[in-house]
Chains A and B, each alone.
Chain A
Amino acid sequence: MSRESTIDGLVEQKYRHGFVTDIESDTMPPGLSEEVIRAISIRKNEPEWLLEWRLKAYATWLKMEQPNWAHLNIEEIDFQKISYFSSPKSDKDRPQSLDEVDPKLLETYDKLGVPLHERARLAGVAVDAVFDSVSVGTTFKAELRKAGVIFCSFSEAVAEHPELVKKYLGSVVPQRDNFFAALNSAVFTDGSFVFIPRGVRCPMELSTYFRINAAETGQFERTLIVAEEGSHVSYLEGCTAPMRDENQLHAAVVELIALEDANIKYSTVQNWYPGDENGKGGIYNFVTKRGDCRGDRSRISWTQVETGSAITWKYPSCVLRGDDSVGEFYSVALTSNYQQADTGTKMVHLGRNTRSKIISKGISAMQGQNAYRGLVKVSPKADNARNYTQCDSMLIGKKCGAHTFPYIEVRNPTAKVEHEATTSRIGEDQLFYCLQRGISEEDAVSMIVDGFCKQVFKELPMEFAVEAKALLEVSLEGAVG
């Protein structure tokens, strides 16, 4: 076997998905119309104002066209063929114990180091006696309540904190922002809501809590995080464990609001089903994520590790409105087989002395196509704005591609904007160097990739940095077994 084909063998991701459940009976028939939106709102028992908000978004969406500017090959999506509501699975339709779960999936959990007590929940096992999530969740919840932190599902927030939702919903990502954001605004079914009151440092990584409680993410998720003056929060979404979903299109919206001196750290580790080795059947992940540094000296930091999805199209962005505010974006995106990613960030400098930093690491293997697209915009009033962008691409094998599209718009002469970009090939020479020292090929590949991603991994909460590293190893070393 030639070295080239060995590398291909190594990077060929063996996606160990779990099981595919039958479509639930309580699923709306496919199609999108005003009636469907009304029906969603009724099922969710929503107040009138939210229904109106949805309908307005729907009217906007109808006038929009699906964009096609990304460096992506997307089969046309028929929005009338999608079902926009399905109720959560009932326990009787789930596997009743881990014994019923695909052993391959369990093996992956093992490799990823997923704690034993989380495996059942991740695999979708009915959680009665098997797994005591309730008590763990309750403990967390009590601790959060004591600190005054609100962390609940979006539906719960609509019911219990309507004034907060009403005040902030759509204030960062307006309905008309883009095609998919408008669609999400019309049909979103659930998501998460976080509110950190003034001066509070959230007593725990919301990641931990999140993993226990919010596994079932919808097709059209909505996340809203509000950090009041001087508060701090670190939030992690996603999971390194592979996620299979019958919904092909995922169009989430995430809005972050940081008031004066507030600090939001948002980390994503996503491992959606990428499709088979011919690129069939994977998830389309079209997400709008934006943070608004609304107050002076506020700070928003995005960190993402993306290894899944057939197509990823997202640009977690920061609007640096407050003076001296800071935006950061750290990203690792891996595309293998026929995966495509067009991802990056936007840093919009509006306030004075605003700073932004972008570290993007793209890894392409097999026929994977990886594009970085980033906008750095400095408005006329943003005196002394600073940006540093570093954009590195790594190619594994010869059939993949890496593309970089930096956009820089500077309208203030005091701005200082730096952009660095490199492209390297994990090459025969690096591999041979490792082999010649006695290191096995698999260890060599993961070592090289891990080194490449180091700047981003160190931004992740510790436990997830370890998992993210394992995730890349699994993604690149399907042959391990």
Chain B
Amino acid sequence: MLQIKNLHAKVAGKEILKGLNLELEAGEIHAIMGPNGAGKSTLGNVLAGREGYEVTAGEVIFNGKNLLDLEPEERACEGVFLAFQYPVEIPGVNNTYFLRAALNAQRKYRGEAELDSVDFLRLVREKLKILDIGDKLLHRAVNEGFSGGEKKRNEIFQMAVLEPKLAVLDETDSGLDIDALKTVATGVNRLRSPDRGMIVVTHYQRLLDYIVPDKVHVLADGKLVATGGADLALKLEEQGYAWLEDGGIQSLELGAGDQQ
């Protein structure tokens, strides 16, 4: 469903992604791990089309379309969802109203009928139940005064309602305590689906205890430098990212990742 080929991108004139390649099939979850500054968040922002992230080379094909040709809102309507590392507060705008506006904008784009408030509420209740979260956040303004955990849960809730084809979770675990982390991870797992691909971007392995990925990629200096199964994450956790620079990559590529 997603093919990223030789992706190069600049932020503020500085090259951050330097030839990234990735293929993701529907139904898969890929984790992208890497040290700070490796370009993890840049990838999510480039895929979502954020202003200021300039693609200098490469292509991204999403369900047969060239994603980079589309405006950010068109990408969202095509089914690309970014769960923000720092969800944004929009004071005075009711969370439910916001989400309905978003869903209806997407439905309209796809030529589907817009949902009226009754149908929308029915959908929302259903999703809340699946995620096992209360309806308190429906009545509040978008992320306003939310705790870190509430913000992340709200992201997952939005994802549940919008039902994207591709979800990029940008450091969804950052700033969460273990309980909040479990709640969020449970939500993500319940939204796993054969039609949906997910990219989970994280610095720490612990999120992957709860969301078990099909593949783990290591991003360093703007490229994927290693790819493996879920055990690669454990290796990184154990050895630290420094291990990559100290020749760990080579050892991985030689198939002898466990040598000390």
Chain A positions near chain B (C-beta within 8 angstroms): 2-3, 424, 428-430, 432-441, 443, 447-448, 450-455
Contact = CB atoms under 8 A, between A and B. Distances in A.
Interface string B220-233: 00000000000000
Given A438-B77, A451-B93, A451-B141, A433 B101 contact: no
Given A447-B90, A448-B93, A453-B92, A439 B73 contact: yes
B91 interface: yes
A429 B162 CA distance: 20
Interface in B78-94: 81-82, 84, 86-93
Interface string B56-87: 00000000000000011101110001101011
Nearest to B103: A438
A438 B93 contact: no
A432 B50 contact: yes
A436 B48 CA distance: 7
Contacts of B158: 437
Contacts of A438: 73, 76-77, 102-103, 105-106, 109, 162
B51 A432 contact: yes
A445 to B, nearest CB: 11
Given A440-B105, A451-B142, 14 more contacts: A430-B88, A432-B50, A432-B51, A434-B90, A435-B71, A436-B72, A436-B75, A436-B76, A437-B76, A437-B99, A437-B162, A438-B77, A438-B109, A454-B92
Contacts of A455: 92
Nearest to A427: B88
B92 A452 contact: yes
A436 B81 CA distance: 7
Given A429-B88, A430-B88, A433-B87, A439 B102 contact: yes
Contact of B73 (A429, A435, A453): A435
A430 B158 CA distance: 16
B84 to A, nearest CB: 7
A388 to B, nearest CB: 18
Nearest to A437: B102
Contacts of B106: 438
A446 to B, nearest CB: 10
B102 A452 contact: no
A451 B101 CA distance: 14
28 contacts: A2-B51, A3-B51, A424-B91, A429-B86, A429-B88, A432-B88, A433-B88, A434-B90, A434-B98, A435-B49, A435-B71, A436-B48, A436-B50, A436-B73, A436-B81, A436-B84, A437-B158, A438-B162, A439-B102, A440-B73, A440-B105, A441-B73, A447-B93, A448-B90, A450-B93, A451-B91, A454-B92, A455-B92
